[in-house]
A and B are shown apart, each in its own frame.
Chain A
């Protein structure tokens, strides 16, 4: 009997939490498409999410490209097709690794701090203060983040792709002694525009996902320092897990 009650409670709780997330997301979307848009906040968030993530994106990208080359080269050499190193690196980056790794890095760097910022505003009653002043907190806090994430993520993942392909070039051509014409020339034969479009769609979806998860967690953070810290942790974990799950779903839908 107790087990049944526990199961029912768990189900209802889960569903109502899901519904709260959906209402939050829809409210944000509604505020996105209706004026007024806080344009200077959007610019500031693009600066924060996009520009300030560049160093970490570039650093991880170079090493991702180099490790792909390092792992791919011996395997391909065994079957005598080292020329496919370029397509291997380019395709895996453009289709999967670029959007996903960039999203994970941005979640850790920018998403967590957005959750913490909104969470602290919540526990200091600053969000209530905004509402009292007649400002819609969604417009002021959530919408700029969502738009900035959706704008910045495709650009960040494109930068990730280019830097990682360059990293693969550094290791494959300069260190392992592959022919540079083969590295870049073979890419042209295998990468098509559809792959790049897929990567852009994916990273836009990831941007929307990260922004809504992180803002939602901050908005519904519990009180006290512990509440904010647990909200931040949950936001990063949930956003990362959702990015990977959503990546699988999108890949199976698109291809």
Chain B
């Protein structure tokens, strides 16, 4: 009986430990398994600054996918978007790189269009690159901001 009690508590300890590992890797960590389904769409940005594989893709603030990979093509950033199945993107949708808050992480916001849907592996033509805050600030500092006509 005494020996069985040992084994009971060892089993309980193992179960709790494995449960904790499962909580950590499923609830706490970014879940890499559930985003594997879906279809790919490409988008080419003149500036992909701050986007990494795994950055979220949002429509109206709702996550619809993740960035799968990012590569340089013709001196532009070619980004492969993994879109969840069931989310339909139109050919005239606009993909823009935005920032959560001023210093938060970068994500891709998609503004839906009204045309025909994009086939898998299609290309989003309208893109807006990441806003370059330094360029904007330096414009202000150097006084190149165009003033409204008086």
| A residues adjacent to B (C-beta < 8 A) | 40, 43-44, 46-47, 50-51, 54, 79-81, 90, 94, 152, 154-156, 158-159, 161-162, 165, 184, 187-193, 195-196, 200
B101 closest partner in A (C-beta): A81
A/B interface sample: 28 pairs, CB < 8 A = A40-B3, A44-B6, A46-B14, A47-B9, A47-B13, A50-B14, A51-B10, A51-B13, A54-B13, A81-B104, A90-B28, A94-B28, A152-B17, A155-B13, A155-B20, A155-B21, A156-B17, A159-B17, A162-B24, A165-B28, A188-B28, A188-B30, A188-B31, A189-B30, A191-B30, A193-B25, A196-B21, A196-B24
Task: Place the interface of chain B in its size category.
Answer: 20 to 34
A84 closest partner in B (C-beta): B104
Q: B101: which A residues are within 8 A, CB to CB?
A: 80-81
Complex partner residue of B17 from A94, A158, A184, A193, CB under 8 angstroms = A158
**Taking chain B's interface residues, is the majority helix, strand, or loop, or is none over half, making it mixed?**
helix
Tell me the B71-112 residues at the A interface (CB within 8 Å).
Answer: 101, 103-105
Q: Say whether A158 contacts B24, CB under 8 Å.
A: yes
Contacts A90-B28, A191-B29, A196-B25 known; A161 to B6 CB distance under 8 Å?
Answer: no
Q: Is B18 an interface residue (CB 8 A)?
A: yes
Q: B56: which A residues are within 8 A, CB to CB?
A: 189
Q: Say whether A159 contacts B20, CB under 8 Å.
A: yes
Q: How many A-B residue pairs have CB under 8 A?
A: 84
Q: Say whether A51 contacts B21, CB under 8 Å.
A: no
B12 closest partner in A (C-beta): A51
Contacts A158-B20, A158-B24 known; A81 to B103 CB distance under 8 Å?
Answer: yes
Q: Is B7 an interface residue (CB 8 A)?
A: yes
Task: Provide the bound-state CA to CA distance between A187 and B27, in Å.
Answer: 9
Contacts A159-B16, A196-B29 known; A43 to B10 CB distance under 8 Å?
Answer: yes
Q: A156: which B residues are within 8 A, CB to CB?
A: 17
| B residues adjacent to A (C-beta < 8 A) | 3, 6-7, 9-10, 12-14, 16-18, 20-21, 23-25, 27-32, 54, 56, 101, 103-105
Q: Which 9 A-B pairs have the closest CB atoms?
A: A155-B17, A158-B20, A162-B20, A51-B13, A158-B21, A51-B9, A50-B13, A191-B29, A159-B20
Complex partner residue of B6 from A47, A94, A152, A187, CB under 8 angstroms = A47
B16 closest partner in A (C-beta): A159
Contacts A81-B101, A188-B29, A189-B30 known; A94 to B12 CB distance under 8 Å?
Answer: no
Contacts A51-B10, A165-B28 known; A154 to B105 CB distance under 8 Å?
Answer: no
Q: B31: which A residues are within 8 A, CB to CB?
A: 188
**Smallest distance from the beta carbon of B22 to chain A beta carbons, Å?**
9
Task: Provide the bound-state CA to CA distance between A156 and B56, in Å.
Answer: 32
B24 closest partner in A (C-beta): A196
Q: B54: which A residues are within 8 A, CB to CB?
A: 192
Q: B9: which A residues are within 8 A, CB to CB?
A: 47, 51
Q: B27: which A residues are within 8 A, CB to CB?
A: 184
Q: Say whether B28 contacts A46, CB under 8 Å.
A: no
**Smallest distance from the beta carbon of B38 to chain A beta carbons, Å?**
18
